Amino acid sequence: MTRLPSLAERKPVRTDTVTFSDGSTSDYTPPVNTLDPRYTACADHRVGCDCREADLREDIADLRIEVESLRAENRRLRALMVSVADGLNQEARR
């Protein structure tokens, strides 16, 4: 089972500076996942809206966990192959 990263291991949350057509700016932190209240509050579904951003970020997080799980399984299988090869080499020497 893959271990989730601790708070210290997680990357800092991205904050973007949004510039409006009148030149004013505002800091904006996109939602990290669908548990963010902005996900359910989103009603105008435009490109880059909060619900789409939350879905995308959640999918990316899920894929990262899956990739790490596959890498761990790959490492485990490589170690198993090495131990089997070592056992076969020892049998051949007898």
Q: Per-residue pLDDT tens, the chain, 94 aa: give them.
A: 556 666 556 666 667 788 888 988 888 888 888 888 888 888 877 777 888 888 888 999 999 999 999 999 999 999 999 888 887 777 777 6
Is residue 75 domain-resident? yes
Boundaries of domain holding 80: 16-93
Q: How many domains does the chain have?
A: 1
- Residue 42 corresponds to which amino acid? C
Is residue 4 domain-resident? no
Is residue 76 domain-resident? yes
Query: Do residues 90 and 82 make contact, with C-beta atoms less than 8 angstroms apart?
Result: no
pLDDT of residue 27: 85
Query: Do residues 73 and 1 make contact, with C-beta atoms less than 8 angstroms apart?
Result: no
- CA dist 62 and 55 (Å) reads 11
- Residue 67 corresponds to which amino acid? V
Is residue 82 domain-resident? yes
Is residue 10 domain-resident? no
Is residue 60 domain-resident? yes
The token duo for 81 is: 């192959």
Is residue 3 domain-resident? no
pLDDT of residue 62: 93
